[in-house]
Chains A and B, each alone.
Chain A
């Protein structure tokens, strides 16, 4: 089922793999694995979890060029005898789908051959084991996307996202989803909708507005959804799967803005005896929550009134399903047909992957919250400590840079549930408060795993950020006087020993597997936020002998090993006086002179440290103003992409640099290993693009060292070309001139028939060790993209890179 509207972001992150099994092998695999069961715990180390990638043989679909497959599909359509517009529409559809599927399959976000995708495949094959024709045609894959989604393509590729897998409760729910998607393929809904959309949008009925046309499209799509639901239930009726779980699936889909599991989590739960958040933090958080809730209540859109969506109302679908179930005998149906432990194992992997996906997207608020949920669910681990440390470090880093944390997973309006309260509190912390909170959390995690290199790195960077950007003197943390030791000034009226009342951090209640009788998984018992009842301690009433430090300086007082802390702070503290003395500002002429000198030095000899670069397969976007055919565009882009890849390799050899191009387009050169390398480095790149601070530590840095070491370089390059060929506009005044001077007409005709070519090149090279931009280049050329031109430009890029200091 296409549960959600596929937006462009989803489309870009859809991954699937063609894996062709014959019927016997498919049956054997299902039976074999059912018998063998799952004992995968020994394979994946959840304590120090690493992202999973593809395993096994490459799908056959990726071994040949997309253009070749597209041509074969077109030939098949021609052989059916269809003519005219219908044939052209189907050919366009076939070509677009061929290219699109390959693009998704080779993007590095599709999983195949690993426990996650294997499980989904097993459940899917189990559903269609009676349908011999479908066994050869349908493939099941997992998509590394946080969005709960599943969809089908015209060629039978069924994708299920990680974001959906983490929310499922049992195998039957997955079966309901897969059955729905299978029916979309069987009924060719993609092609039908494609045809209908083209017809509707192309129709020139004067009376119908654009909105009316869109509503027609949506109605058509909703009919397809109902049909897929109905036929899916029909398919499941004959299996052992419990159709009642379909109701819970629809219920679950109502709460996709909520975390997959909730727990009360507030800043107060992270407080301690001498580290207490003031009331102002709670007040600010409450105020932001109030405004958001008020706005939501005004703009509340009932699902039943969702006339403009491509999917029907979930409540409507629930009612239909309930009506269907009422007429069926559900006795003997099971929630788990295959091994139950396999499901939980798969889900554990999926939830760990989800954390990584959030980190990659720089949704640090969500990853921080979910790391707490996962700790309660699966116990503490090094991986979860790293996630927590990284998340809070990144939030502090971005806050110090003046960024709004709602862009980093702390949006109060976009999220709902328990984590929203937590985000509101995080947002209400000031810069230094958040910075101190961050180093406290990181220090705490570092104490658990003192030898982990990544945690140490995060710790060091967090303290540096706190000093450099927060301008905090680290030794003040040690100068903070515990509340218990404070005395009141004799001038005040009260002579009370100011200790915070009820200063023990509140322990939240965490239901492990929440379930309600009405079937809703997530919104069962509203998760109440922990309410800290600590007394407010006005700073002004606490008098230290010499100074008054804000509350957040008490972040470390309650930790053990204060000597070790002191030693560490001594080692990393910055002497700001010394820094200001040493720094000297240059005058403009001095700066200019330095620039010229550096430029001369730069080109004296190449930088010996730069000996190679790993390049993502060059992207190209080709716009041909001479042709409107989308088919031709796709074919041209593939041709240019191949050409670019060859040129990069060729010029790389000449330049003396060790160039490795990570190809991710379907073809004979692709292997599973190359696809995995691409995926790993692409993950790093995506995280880097989402954290464009040019100095922040990245979580995926710990995973790219290995592939980069194989390539013997730290440099990663991404390049794209936008190439436009546009006909010249008719210049009427030129024609008039040629009438006056006829001999010029020939030249004018020659000029008019020329095309204008524009080439825009964008290249960026990162150092994966430091995550800094090593070299960047934007070029805009009014020229044709000839081989010589490409070679010259690529060589120039590599030349400049070689001389970059």
Chain B
């Protein structure tokens, strides 16, 4: 799409309701995208690297003041993160991410965890259940007008979420915790890449002329980077001397992303990419409002 079309977008001021995505025939669709990244990835990476280097150590366990659990202060875990926030605003979907992580603790009350997780999510069209959706939106988000797709079967956007995250945990030694065993609270910082291969957009608009417009979008993979911090509260208990079960709950959301000139709650978009980004970011942002993790770990 040329710049003219882009300008038309602005003039038309499309509302982002009932927009469906699907895999279809891909055709060239070009438009300039303002790459005004809100997410300064390089700086985030620098922070992560420095934290990594300052906290990670290949030293022997005995040279630290933390006895850990029976001498073990490191562990690897298999993670499942479930996002429950979507129950508030979308259809009843609890999304699960799966991954691996590594945690180590040099002191009795402080541990650092590095992990990776991935998920494949579906973003259904808005307004599936308009009345509930409206009420939910009114209750938890700012009021919006509903745009109802009429007579159309709903489609969905399928996107993947790959995350690298780090958790800084403070273990509660007054409750007998010895990092990485016991109850803790902490901060999770997650760098997430949301991407989709879907290449067809359908815009629904109710301003004149009323109807849908289908467009094929650029084949280039569409992805957006997001920074998602969460506050977590959890407890790691031992099943055997080596195997642990870690359960935690978190509260977080997307606070930074590199999509252009748009907030994830803003229904006004200026480009196809923003549409796509919005469709990916918003469910993650809302889903992460209430999340819970279940990890099975092995101490060593």
Taking beta carbons and an 8 Å cutoff, which residues of A are in contact with B? 599, 602-606, 651, 654-655, 759, 780-783, 786, 788-789, 791-793, 795-796, 799-800, 803
Residue B36 is within 8 A (CB to CB) of chain A in the complex: no
A788 & B181 in contact (Cβ 8 Å cutoff): yes
Q: Determine how close the nearest CB of chain A comes to the CB of B233; give it in whole angstroms.
A: 15
Cα A800 to Cα B108 with chains together (Å) = 12
Decide: B176 and A604 in contact? CB cutoff 8 A.
no
CA distance A788 to B67 in the complex (A): 14
A sample of 8 cross-chain residue pairs with beta-carbon separation below 8 angstroms, ordered by A number, consists of A780-B174, A781-B176, A786-B237, A788-B69, A788-B237, A788-B238, A795-B70, A796-B178
Chain A's nearest CB lies how many Å from the CB of B87? 15
* Shortest Cβ distance from residue A595 to the other chain B in the assembled complex, whole angstroms: 13
Q: Is the CB of A795 within 8 A of B71?
A: yes
Q: Are A783 and B65 in contact (CB under 8 A)?
A: no
**Minimal Cβ-Cβ distance residue in B for A785:** B176
On whether A654 and B70 interact (CB within 8 A), knowing A606-B62, A788-B181, the answer reads yes
List the B side residues contacting A796 at CB < 8 Å: 67, 108, 178
- What residues of chain B lie closer than 8 Å to A800, measured between beta carbons? 67
Q: How far is the CB of A215 from chain B (nearest CB, A)?
A: 48
Q: How far is the CA of A759 from the CA of B69 in the complex (A)?
A: 18
Give B63's nearest chain A residue, CB to CB.
Answer: A604
For residue A783, which residues in chain B have a CB less than 8 angstroms away from its CB? 175-176
Whether B155 sits at the interface, judged by CB under 8 Å, is: no
Given contacts A781-B174, A781-B175, A783-B175, contact A603 B70 (CB under 8 A): no
Q: When the two chains form their complex, are residues A603 and B238 in contact, meaning their CB atoms are under 8 A apart?
A: no
Give residues of chain B (152-195) contacting chain A, Cβ–Cβ below 8 Å.
174-176, 178, 181-182
Cβ of B175 and Cβ of A605 under 8 Å apart?
A: no
- Residues in B lying within 8 Å of A, measured CB to CB: 62-65, 67, 69-71, 108, 174-176, 178, 181-182, 237-238, 241
A599-B65 CB under 8 A given contacts A655-B71, A791-B241:
yes
**A602, A759, A799 — most chain B CB neighbours (10 Å):** A799
Q: Hey, which chain B residues are within 8 Å of A651, CB to CB?
A: 70
- Cα A651 to Cα B178 in complex, Å, equals 15
Q: Select B70's contact among A602, A604, A782, A791, beta carbons within 8 Å.
A: A791
The answer to whether A782 and B174 touch (CB under 8 A), given A605-B62, A791-B241, is yes
Residue on B nearest A799 in the bound complex, by CB: B67
List B contacts of A602 (CB < 8 A): 65
- Asked if B63 and A795 sit within 8 Å, CB to CB, the answer is no
The residue of chain B having its C-beta at the shortest distance from the C-beta of A606 within the complex is: B62
* A792 with B181: CB separation less than 8 A: yes
> Are A603 and B178 CB-contacts (below 8 A) given A654-B70, A654-B71, A792-B69?
no
Q: At the interface, is chain B mostly helix, strand, loop or mixed?
A: mixed
CB distance from B292 to the nearest CB of A (A): 16
Given contacts A606-B62, A654-B70, A795-B70, contact A759 B176 (CB under 8 A): yes
- Is B65's CB under 8 angstroms from A603's CB? yes
Interface centre among B174, B176, B181 (most CB of A within 10 A): B176
Task: Give the distance in Å from the alpha carbon of A782 to the alpha carbon of B181 in the complex.
Answer: 15
Min CB gap A405→B, angstroms: 42
Contacts of B174 in A (CB 8 A): 780-782
Whole-angstrom distance from the CB of B173 to the nearest CB of chain A?
Answer: 8
A788 and B69 CA atoms in complex are apart in Å by 9
Contact A792 B241 (CB under 8 A): no
Q: Are A603 and B63 in contact (CB under 8 A)?
A: yes
CB nearest to B237 among chain A residues? A788
B237 contacts which chain A residues (CB < 8 A)?
786, 788
Alpha-carbon separation in the docked complex, A744 to B189 (Å): 31
* A792 partner, pick from B63, B64, B65, B178, beta carbons under 8 A: B178
Instruction: Determine how close the nearest CB of chain A comes to the CB of B111; give it in whole angstroms.
Output: 14
Cβ contact within 8 Å between A795 and B176: no
A788 to B183, CA, bound (A): 13
Closest beta carbon of chain A to B93's beta carbon, Å: 22
Q: Which residues of chain B come closer than 8 Å to A792, judged between CB atoms? A: 67, 69-70, 176, 178, 181-182
Assess whether B69 is in contact with A605, with CB atoms less than 8 Å apart. no
Closest residue of chain A to B240 (Cβ to Cβ) is A788
Q: What is the chain A residue whose CB lies nearest that of B64?
A: A603
Closest chain-B Cβ to A755's Cβ sits at a distance in Å of 14
Contact (Cβ within 8 A) B67 A789? no
B125 to chain A, nearest CB (A): 30
CB-CB under 8 A from A655, the residues of chain B are: 71
Q: Please provide the 5 A-B residue pairs with the shortest distance between their CB atoms, ordered closest to farther.
A: A799-B67, A788-B238, A783-B176, A781-B176, A603-B65
Is the Cβ of B71 less than 8 Å from the Cβ of A605?
Answer: no
| A782→B183 CA distance, assembly (Å) | 12
Extra pairs beyond A599-B65, A792-B67, A799-B67 (20, CB < 8 Å)? A602-B65, A603-B64, A603-B65, A604-B63, A605-B62, A605-B63, A606-B62, A651-B70, A759-B176, A781-B174, A786-B237, A789-B176, A791-B69, A792-B176, A792-B178, A792-B181, A795-B67, A795-B71, A796-B108, A800-B67
Q: What separation, in Å, do the CA atoms of A599 and B178 have in the docked complex?
A: 19
Q: Is the CB of B71 within 8 A of A793?
A: no
B34 to chain A, nearest CB (A): 45
Are A782 and B71 also in contact (CB < 8 A) when A606-B62, A788-B237, A791-B241 are? no
In whole angstroms, what is the CA distance A799 to B73 when docked?
13
Which among B62, B176, B241 is the interface contact of A793 at CB below 8 angstroms? B176
Least distance between A184 CB and chain B CB atoms (Å): 48
Which residue of the partner chain B has the closest CB to A759?
B176
Give every chain A residue within 8 A of B175 (Cβ-Cβ). 781-783
Q: Which residues of A contact B241 (CB under 8 A)?
A: 791
A603 neighbours in B (Cβ, 8 Å): 62-65
Q: What are the residues of chain A within 8 A of B70 when measuring CB–CB? A: 651, 654, 791-792, 795
Output the least CB separation between A774 and chain B (Å): 17
Query: How many Å from the CB of A690 to the closest CB on chain B?
Result: 33
Q: Which residues of A contact B71 (CB under 8 A)?
A: 654-655, 795, 799
